[in-house]
Structure 1
Amino acid sequence: MRTVRLSQTISPFGVGAIVDVMGESLMGVDISQWPYERTVRVESKRLEERLGVQELRSPPSVPAKPSTNSPGILYQRFPRWLFCQDCRRMHHYRTQQETGQPPQCGQCRGKLVPMRFIAVCATKGHARDIPWDKWAHSAPESEAQRRCHDHVLNFDTAVRGNEGLSGLVVRCLTCGASRDLGDLPSRKALHRIGVTCTGGQPWQHNTPPCDDPLEVLQRGATNVTLADTTTALDIPEPSGAARDIAAEVHQHRNFEDVQSAPHGPRAAVLIELIAEDLGIDESQVRQALDGDPNEVLRESRRGLLSDEWDAFLEATGSTDGPVGTPDFVISATPFTRPDLDTSPVTAQLSEYIDAVVLAHRLREIRVLHGFRRYTGDADLVDVNLGRRGRGRWLPAVESFGEGVFLSLDQELLNEWEQQEEVQARVAVLESRRRRSIMGSRLFEATPRAVLLHTLAHLLMRRLAFSCGYSSASLRERVYAETTPRAEAGLLVYTASGDAEGTLGGLVREGEAPRLARTLVAAIEGAAWCSSDPLCRESRGQGMNSLNRAACHGCSLVAETSCERSNVLLDRVLVVGDDNTPGFFQKILEAIRAETISRSRRLTDD
């Protein structure tokens, strides 16, 4: 029995991901091997309909000190090649040898630790152990080394004491064959010695072989597992919610069989069966079959955000106090209060803000669809790799929290984003997004989207000083769609599996005049960075140069806080520069003018 937090079973330690527990390396198996009867139903009708699944289920929570009778989910040891920290003997640990305890060396009883490297399929997301016995014998120097079969391996340092990977050697004690790890990370290193992809995941058996190339990664690398998740808030059910036919078809238990052979002899029968089960026409099934699965997920997520936008706007028209449901309690609040704040800057800033909504209680649900390996454009590995005997379901976790919703004035925003200088600057980011290996997972870079995303980061960094939550506890949701209707808002919120998410500190910071002062401080802080002028004048930063004026000194936040991987950020769009007007540039000028005026008054006094 090992323990991880319940929320971590979705990400970062969900299906297909590696988790290090006290020196042991384990990988989560797919949900077909989860104890379904012991999982817990997560109720969210809106999310189930949008994703086209029958239900969402969460692993069971267990006591702080679990026993062998406590319910849990299965993780498998990976990699299975281990070495002893004392005698350096290597062992290939098999499932039959598992005792439930950390493995020990059979020679000296020392602790066995996992090898650092694994092999992944760069296209289809498969993973396997590196066959170290084959690697050690891949450069034989004698006939005896070529014919060696009784492999006894040691993982040691080179005699010459070379630095880096070339100083690490896998050596066969039987025949003396050895090879260092210097060439291991190079492209197609395993292909050159005849190692091929097994065509499956480490916990799968008898899978058909795969012809795609293998690449070597460190088991702790971030691109070993790139989780594909959807996050949604539990809001009141929208009236007349439209069905997402494409999502329902893609999640049907027979869809994969049709997709693998769309013109095969069984395709027509399966298409008819899917149409009958879902109550739709066969033409709709064929249309969904021709669609891009990634685009289906993106459309589902857009629909979820649009529903949330409508739910927050409904609160702005209510004067009866908090409205909503027990898990979605919101209320509108003024942005400024002249009786508490007489600053001309905040009065001018109020013209840019359309509405402020306090979320006293939120329920967030995160769902895992699958994962990718190596690159963001690799094939999606489904979260369920077994036979689907029951209706389609997905793993999910729920958490509770609070937040502050802020929307911008649409008229001022439309006027700003139509300027040629703004569009030209954002067009650079959009062209890079399209060429990026992770571009399909990101939102379209439009002026309002980049502006709101950057503003959310600036607010989170500033709120972390005063709201009582750590910076890693804050999260964002950006509402920036332009079609079929215009959205221009952001939500800064916190969500936790315990009471920490509802302490009230974030809602308190959303009340007037605190929010106005925080926003003024965020705008003023965005005008400079400790890395300026390099940061402000940068032509590209971050992964694939998907950021402009944004770095760790001014705009980046914790990876758990950003829903867009800390890319597509540019604080110049917020405060402006000599070439590009910022949306809040006039506010920044007013802040500076007020500061100068205050300094002069103090000097005169």
Structure 2
Amino acid sequence: MSDTKASDDGLIYDSQLDVDPLGDQDELEENNTAKNYAKVGSSRGSTLMYTYGPGSIMDLPHFTVMPMGLDAWDKIWKRRPGTSKIMAPRLLENVQLMLGNQVKELRPFPWQPNQTGAFREGADLGIPARVFPQWLRCTGCNKLAPVSDFVNGYSNRNPYRPDQAEFMHKGCRGSGKGAKKYDRPCVPARYLLVCEDGHVDEFPYDWWAHNGGHCPNASKPQLKMIESSAGVSGSFIECVSCGAKRSMLEAQSLENRSKLPRCRGRFAHLDSFQAKPCDKPVRLMLIGASNLWFPVVQSIIDMPRLDEKAIILDEYNMIKIALGDNDWMLEEDLDDNLKSIRKTVQRSAKTDDELKQKSEVELRLLIIQAQQSEMNEDERQRAREQWEPSDLLVPEWKYLVRDFPDTKHVDRKSGLTVHVQQVHGIVADLGVKRILAVDKLKKVNALIGFTRVDDFDRVNDLGSRLVRLNRDGRPTWVPATEDYGEGIFIQFDEERIEKWENAVLANPLWDSHVMAHRRNFRNRLSETAAEVDPDTRLPKPRYWLMHTLSHALIKRMAMSAGYGIASLSERIYAWQGSEDRPAAAGVLIETTASGSDGTLGGLVDLSNTDKFEQIMTSALQEMKRCSSDPVCARRIPKDPEDFLHGAACHCCCMLSETSCERANRFLDRRFLVPLPGQDASLAFFKD
């Protein structure tokens, strides 16, 4: 029995097929059926945010699964009387800019630790997922069939070993004649069909083996996938029922895309299909392809707001969170509801003391001012079109460079704790204007969607390429994580930075980087970015300077801070000034951990003036040498080369992907220190 429905914007789905693994497990237990536990694996919140979020494909020991969209998550949250929330008003405001004002909350992943040791405590929480792709191949006889053919061989009976969940082909005779029957494991069939609009579908093996037709001998033909040591090109699909056979080599490459079927517009993580036919060409992709899923994550360091308008909106959001489903009281007959609103705000644990102490008159004024400041849909669309990633960084920069009343400053709301360190001697001579020891910080990250085929920075049509996380495309909440840690903030003298930057912009070396970036963009151009001006995506020289210096400091700090290099990360503040933002040149080097109350203090300890002087001078000295010199020192991109770095390599200043915010792009040691060659004068740190 089916219950086919359509969402408001044209997605077609069958509500009877909604994924509810915990509900299925409850039904098994009620019927005293042999248990197959719903849990099939585990993952950290950061991994679910950056690697295996909704719509991705997660590798488990014996098969693969796809985490489902937020509609399925709501069934998990309903197993608790209330839902947890993450308070980060500035990040929530930016999520609303991207997804709409209907987004009310940032929620952590549905998980709780086992604190009492009780059997399966917290097991009724988790991320819903479905087996995907649902075509499996028997490793014994090469049988290729949907998961329904192997469901009798599914086993997940040990609640303490979800990694042992697997599908077996019962009574498999293997591929040889006269072999005995054994239960043999099944593995996912590894081919998918993907289009640039985010659709993903199973590969039609039956259709492919019969050259776009059907088997003449059977309505449900028996298929095999024959693998060989030659890899993809050595795989072929065979129909046992009629003998048809076709190699997967024919599905490879751009030239063979015309042989593939049309995109069906499937959003597998939403159990739905796009009602309007998809006209984008499909491409063959493997389940482990790196361009199958690119998360779109927005992150902030939680800091107090300085703008009065923003403070009012933050307090208004706290009121809406406190009211919950009763937020209608803010719209209808406000004056009649003020007393109830004030009582609810005072009882709520999500509001701060200042808001609780406001009178009814003050609350009324705050609500009216906030409602007048809220964007309508047209204003939100214009703001989204003008949005840049640095918009998230500007409020942080303004706060970190302000004059603090005391040497130590603690913000009660965010927990941010900073120490102002003295700057003098060699450090001041090097152009450093301010050093802050950030004893405690909280970083909040929110997942707002994902893209396929192209990373988000290659996309210029945000509205159509951002794949939704729920069916109607207007979520009321998005998943988020909180990371706690420490860091060091370094600000540089803007006058010296501007003078140096102007000299670099006038130098032929910078023209080489500009042309290389254009070639890089053109060579990796896709249909989704055809109208993007590559020059608008190239950071200015000051970013290259701060980025390269950050890598140099991270490599040196890891030797003294007690952390591995991979656990240190950067946050670069580098842009030219404009009417709505002050110029910035600085870097925050941080280390954070999910769910932690802090870190060990080893990084903050290095912010001491004498220690930092030693760290920085040693880091710059190390940048003068590379084991790949003179090749590295003289590297300048020339046509047809399109790499996005100059004198930089893994031997000197490139870092792991966990540390670098730009995947080791936009690095050049010659912007830091003098290197052999004609461009030695471009170094910011000449002595």
TM-score higher than 0.5 here? yes
Check conservation: 2:491, 2:586, Cα contact below 8 A: yes
- Alignment pair present for 1:553 and 2:656: no
Aligned to 2:396: 308
1:284-339 alpha-carbon deviations (Å, 9 max, x no partner): 643544x485643x2xx43331111122123x544442433362000111245xxx
Distance change in 2, residues 1:348/1:75 (3 Å) = closer
Are residue 493 (structure 1) and residue 590 (structure 2) matched? Answer: yes
Task: Supply the AA of the counterpart residue of 1:526.
Answer: M
Instruction: Return the match for 2:550 from 445, 456, 462.
Output: 456
- More deviation in 15-24 or 64-73? 64-73
Q: Is the 2:298–2:446 contact (alpha carbons within 8 Å) kept by the matching residues of 1?
A: yes
What are the equivalent positions in structure 2 for 1:451-490 lying under 5 Å apart?
451-483=545-577, 484-490=581-587
The aligned length equals 536
Q: Is the counterpart of residue 519 in structure 1 residue 616 in structure 2?
A: yes
Once structures 1 and 2 are overlaid, which stretch shifts more, 432-441 or 520-529? 432-441
Alignment of 1:134 with 2:232, yes or no, is no
- Superposed displacement of residue 407, structure 1: 0.9
Does residue 280 of structure 2 align to residue 212 of structure 1? yes
Mean Cα deviation higher: 555-564 or 502-511: 555-564
Structure 1 residues 375 and 150, CA gap change in structure 2 (3 angstroms) = same
Give yes or no for the alignment of 1:425 onto 2:509.
yes
Aligned position for 1:251? none
Question: C-alpha separation between the residues in 1 aligned to 2:43 and 2:533?
Answer: 31
- Counterpart code for 1:125: G
For each residue in 1:13-58, what CA deviation from the matched residue of structure 2 results, as whole angstroms up to 9, or x when unmatched? 1122221121321112222221344552000112222332422111
- The correspondence of residues 430-441 of structure 1 with structure 2, limited to 5 A, is 430=514, 432-433=516-517, 436=521, 437=525
The answer for the alignment partner of 1:56 in structure 2 is 106
Contact (CA 8 Å) 1:138, 1:193: kept in 2 or not?
A: no
Q: 1:387 aligns with which of 472, 482, 486?
A: 472
**Alpha-carbon separation, structure 2, partners of 1:356 and 1:383:** 41
* Aligned equivalents of 2:498, 2:473: Cα separation in 1: 48
CA–CA separation in structure 1 for the residues paired with 2:564 and 2:287: 29
Shift of 1:86: 2.2
1:355 matches 2:434:
yes
Which stretch has the larger CA shift, 494-503 or 228-237?
494-503
For the residue of structure 1 that corresponds to 2:167, the secondary structure is coil
8 Å CA contact 2:516–2:641 kept in 1: the answer is no
1:14 maps to: 53
1:152 corresponds to: 222
Question: In the aligned structure 2, how far is the partner of 1:369 from the partner of 1:295?
Answer: 18
2:104, 2:476 within 8 Å by CA — same for their partners in 1?
yes
Shift, 1:481, TM fit: 2.1
Q: Alpha-carbon deviation of 1:219?
A: 1.5
TM-aligned CA distance change 1:382 to 1:458, over 3 Å: same
> What's 1:530 paired with?
627
Structure 2 residue 264 is the aligned partner of structure 1 residue 167: no
Q: Report the Cα offset of residue 229 of structure 1.
A: 0.8
CA contact (8 A) 1:335 1:515 kept: no
User: In 2 relative to 1, CA 56–202 (structure 1 residues): closer, same or farther, beyond 3 Å?
Assistant: closer
**Secondary structure at the counterpart of residue 280 of structure 2:** coil
Q: How much has 1:96 moved relative to structure 2?
A: 11
Q: Does 1:40 align with 2:40?
A: no
Q: Contact 1:50–1:244 at 8 Å: present in 2 too? A: no
**Residue 76 in structure 1 maps to residue 130 in structure 2:** yes
Q: How far does residue 529 in structure 1 lie from its aligned partner after superposition?
A: 2.1
Tell me the secondary structure at the aligned position of residue 371 of structure 1: strand
Does 228-237 or 64-73 show the bigger shift? 64-73
The residue identity in structure 1 corresponding to 2:686 is K
Native 8 Å contact 1:383 1:394 kept in 2: no
Kindly tell me: are residues 381 and 533 of structure 1, through their superposed partners in 2, closer, same or farther at Cα, counting changes over 3 Å? same
Code of the residue aligned with 2:647 in structure 1: it is: A
How far, CA to CA, are the matches of 1:584 and 1:12 in structure 2? Answer: 37
What CA distance in whole angstroms lies between the structure 2 residues aligned with 1:179 and 1:415?
64
The alpha carbon displacement at 1:194 in A equals 3.2
**CA offsets 1:526-545 (integer angstroms, 9 cap, x no match):** 12222223323223499952
Q: Are the aligned partners of 1:139 and 1:179 in contact in 2 as well (CA < 8 Å)?
A: no
Matched-pair contact (CA < 8 Å) for 2:500–2:684: no
Q: Structure 1 length normalisation: TM-score?
A: 0.80
Asked whether the 8 Å contact 1:427–1:445 carries over to 2, the reply is no
List gaps (5 residues or longer) in structure 2: 1-38, 97-102, 157-164, 173-182, 314-367
Equivalent position SS for 1:480: strand
In structure 2, how many angstroms separate the alpha carbons of the residues matched to 1:374 and 1:332?
Answer: 45
Native 8 Å contact 1:357 1:404 kept in 2? yes
Change (3 A) 1:283 1:385: closer
Structure 2 residue aligned with 1:229: 297
Equivalent positions of 1:271-350 (< 5 A) are 279=371, 285-286=377-378, 288-289=380-381, 291=382, 293=384, 295-296=386-387, 298=388, 301-314=389-402, 317-325=404-412, 327-335=415-423, 347=426, 350=429
Q: Deviations over 1:378-404 (max 9, x none)?
A: 553344332378x73221100100000
Bigger drift between 179-188 and 479-488 goes to 179-188
Deviations 1:210-252 (A, max 9, x none): 121111122112211111111101111323245999xxxxxxx
The aligned residue for residue 252 of structure 1 is: none
SS where residue 249 of structure 2 aligns? Answer: coil
Amino acid at match of 1:386: R
SS, match of residue 303 in structure 2: coil
Which stretch shifts more, 457-466 or 356-365? 457-466
Deviations 1:416-461 (A, max 9, x none): 1111566543344445546625888996410111111111112112
CA distance in 2, matches of 1:224, 1:388: 21
Alignment of 1:594-605 (within 5 A): none
Q: Give 1:445's aligned residue.
A: 539
Partner of 1:595: none
In the aligned structure 2, how far is the partner of 1:41 from the partner of 1:319? 32
Cα distance in 1, alignment partners of residues 126 and 517 from structure 2:
40
Aligned to 2:393, the other structure's residue is in SS state helix
8 Å CA contact retained: 2:546, 2:587? yes
Structure 1: which 5+ residue stretches go unaligned? 246-275, 337-345, 588-605
Cα shift readout 1:152-182 (whole Å, capped 9, x = no counterpart): 1222246xx7x34232222222122222222
SS of equivalent to 2:50: coil
Is the aligned partner of 1:118 residue 2:192?
yes
The offset of 1:201, in angstroms, is 3.0
SS of residue matched to 1:110: strand
Q: TM-score, normalised by structure 2?
A: 0.71
8 Å CA contact 1:559–1:565 kept in 2: the answer is yes
Contact between 1:41 and 1:55, CA under 8 Å: does it hold in 2?
A: yes
Taking only the aligned residue pairs, the percentage that are identical comes to: 27
Query: Does the aligned pair in 2 maintain the 1:41–1:57 contact within 8 Å?
Result: yes
SS of 1:103's partner is strand
Match of 1:508 in 2: 605
Q: Which moved more, 1:184-193 or 1:399-408?
A: 184-193
Root-mean-square deviation (CA, aligned residues, Å) is 3.5
Q: Following TM superposition, by how much is the alpha carbon of 1:136 offset from its aligned partner in structure 2, in angstroms?
A: 2.2
| Inter-CA distance 396–540: structure 2 relative to 1 (3 Å threshold) | farther
Q: Is the 8 A contact 1:119 1:216 kept in 2?
A: yes
